[in-house]
């Protein structure tokens, strides 16, 4: 029996970076969490401990900080592309670089004063080889809620089903979205805002009969309005709200007082794709 090394990669995870750009008295802030993974001809270090082809992960961290100083950060996708291309071009033993970035938003309060925004986290991921480049943008923890215009009924029942049908419910979710771009070049800030706006508009204007239907509508709206997007994957946890029984207090509750459930929760996931989009190079939404 032969034992061989399978797929492998290594890198530096979660390098925290804050970059202050000083434009006179008015400053700009970039707050990033950068993760790097490299793969290629790394058999020797696994099999015999020969580290001749291993770039230290500490060097990857240092590269993040050095590149943040010059040429600078820019948009998350732009910075991820810069780093991924560098590692593949500079290290002959490396054939693929994957760079993932979480970007945390800050709201301006003054020329050099800011307040951390917690409504969502912007993400970017670049997979780069000598022959291909794949860019995936996204956001996480984007909480949205409709207080009506949502139903859920006509579902399958078995002996363990106790959920009542409803024709009026709160629909709330924390959107986790990833979308793959058709190419490695783009107006990243404009594209991000356009995708976010399309998802929000679809959520607001869709009368929902299921969270699955809402997911497909949100993804479809993005592809209809953003031609640079090849496909989008959405993960939508159903943030349940349960009507409180106030009868013990001789009070009616006409859909006004709810318990916000924590867990367990339903999780709806799906990908909406252009039928003519080129296939992804790697598992882009992992």
pLDDT 10s digits, 90-124: 999 999 999 999 999 999 999 999 999 999 999 99
Domain boundary among the residues 131, 161, 190 is at 131
Percent of the chain, pLDDT > 70?
Answer: 99
Indicate if 183 and 258 belong to the same structural domain: yes
Q: Please provide the average confidence, as pLDDT, over all residues in the chain.
A: 97
- pLDDT (tens digit, 9 = 90+) per residue, 218-256? 999 999 999 999 999 999 999 999 999 999 999 999 999
- pLDDT (tens digit, 9 = 90+) per residue, 51-96? 999 999 999 999 999 999 999 999 999 999 999 999 999 999 999 9
Provide the whole-model pTM: 0.95
Check whether 209 has a pLDDT greater than 80. Answer: yes
pLDDT score recorded for residue 222: 98
Indicate if 125 and 157 belong to the same structural domain: no
Indicate if 86 and 161 belong to the same structural domain: no
Task: Give the span between the Cα atoms of 146 and 204, in whole angstroms.
Answer: 7
Indicate if 280 and 156 belong to the same structural domain: yes
pLDDT score recorded for residue 286: 56
Check whether 28 has a pLDDT greater than 80. Answer: yes
231 located within any domain? yes
**CB-based burial label for 122 (10 Å; 0-12, 13-18, 19+):** buried
Percent of the chain, pLDDT > 90?
Answer: 97
Check whether 258 has a pLDDT greater than 70. Answer: yes
Indicate if 197 and 75 belong to the same structural domain: no
Any idea what the CATH number is for the domain that residue 53 is in? Answer: 3.10.270.10
Domain boundary among the residues 131, 148, 167 is at 131
Indicate if 59 and 164 belong to the same structural domain: no
* Cα-based torsion angle of the residue sequence 35, 41, 44, 47 in order, rounded to the nearest 10 degrees: 80
Indicate if 73 and 172 belong to the same structural domain: no
Indicate if 152 and 263 belong to the same structural domain: yes
Check whether 285 has a pLDDT greater than 70. Answer: no
Indicate if 125 and 146 belong to the same structural domain: no
- Residues 201-219 have a mean pLDDT of 98
2 located within any domain? no
Indicate if 159 and 81 belong to the same structural domain: no
Which residues constitute the domain of residue 123? Answer: 8-131
272 contact partners, CB below 8 Å, separation of at least 6: 215, 216, 219, 220, 222, 223, 231, 232, 233, 234
Indicate if 255 and 182 belong to the same structural domain: yes
Task: Give the span between the Cα atoms of 242 and 14, in whole angstroms.
Answer: 37
Indicate if 286 and 250 belong to the same structural domain: yes
Q: For the chain, what is the domain count?
A: 2
98 located within any domain? yes
Give the catalytic positions in this structure. Answer: 12, 57, 240
- Residues 188-211 have a mean pLDDT of 98
Assigned token pair, 137: 């943008």
């Amino acid at each position: 029996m032969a034992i061989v090394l399978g797929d492998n990669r290594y890198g530096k995870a979660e390098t925290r970076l804050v970059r202050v750009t000083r434009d006179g008295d008015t400053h700009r802030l970039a707050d990033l969490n950068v993760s790097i993974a490299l793969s290629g001809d790394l058999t020797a270090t696994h099999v015999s401990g020969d580290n001749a082809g291993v770039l230290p992960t500490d060097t990857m961290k240092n590269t993040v900080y050095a590149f943040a100083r010059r040429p600078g950060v820019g948009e998350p996708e732009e910075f991820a592309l810069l780093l991924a291309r560098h590692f593949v071009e500079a290290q002959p033993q490396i054939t693929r670089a994957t760079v993932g970035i979480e970007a945390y938003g800050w709201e301006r309060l003054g020329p050099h004063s800011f307040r951390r925004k917690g409504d969502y986290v912007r993400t970017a991921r670049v997979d780069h080889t000598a022959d291909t480049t794949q860019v995936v943008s996204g956001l996480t923890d984007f909480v949205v809620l409709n207080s009506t215009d949502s139903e859920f009924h006509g579902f399958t029942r078995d002996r363990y089903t106790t959920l009542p049908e409803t024709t009026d419910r709160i629909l709330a979710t924390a959107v986790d979205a990833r979308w793959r771009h058709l190419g490695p070049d783009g107006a990243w800030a404009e594209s991000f805002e356009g995708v976010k706006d399309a998802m929000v508009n679809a959520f607001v204007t869709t009368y929902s009969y299921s969270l699955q239907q809402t997911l497909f509508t949100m993804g479809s709206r993005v592809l209809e309005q953003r031609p640079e997007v090849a496909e989008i994957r959405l993960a939508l946890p159903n943030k349940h709200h349960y009507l409180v029984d106030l009868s013990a207090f001789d009070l009616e509750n006409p859909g006004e007082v709810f318990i916000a459930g924590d867990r367990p929760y339903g999780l709806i996931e799906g990908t909406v794709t252009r039928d003519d989009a080129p296939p992804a190079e790697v598992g882009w939404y992992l």
